[in-house]
Amino acid sequence: MPAKPPEDAGSGGAKPPSKPCPECGKPANPATAPFCSPRCRDVDLNRWLSGKYVIPGRDTDPEDAE
């Protein structure tokens, strides 16, 4: 019977380090990446929806409005 290859044989043997959760700093979970849990994912979504995260834009000139 042939030997079973290791599970990560196709990936070169080394996994790249995962980034920590942007909310709490714990290791990210692949199912909820880049967050560690559904709770941290929902906290971040709530911040976007409540307007706490804002992408700045430039002021419009009256000449541009025409």
- What do you get for the CA distance between the two ends of the chain, in Å? 78
In a domain, 1, yes or no: no
Q: How many domains does the chain have?
A: 1
Which pLDDT score, from 0 to 100, does residue 55 have?
Answer: 83
If one compares 12 and 3, the residue with the highest pLDDT of the two is 3
Torsion of CA 41, 44, 45, 50, to 10 degrees: 160
Residue 23 maps to a domain: yes
User: If pLDDT is split at 50, 70 and 90, which confidence band does 62 have?
Assistant: low
Quick check: is 5 in a domain? Answer: no
Six-digit token string for 44: 């971040």
What pLDDT, on the 0 to 100 scale, is given for residue 57?
85
- Residue 36's domain spans which residues? 17-50
Q: Is residue 21 part of a domain?
A: yes
> Model pTM?
0.57
Gap between the Cα atoms of 11 and 23, Å rounded: 29
Amino acid at 42: D
Q: Report yes or no on 59 lying in a domain.
A: no
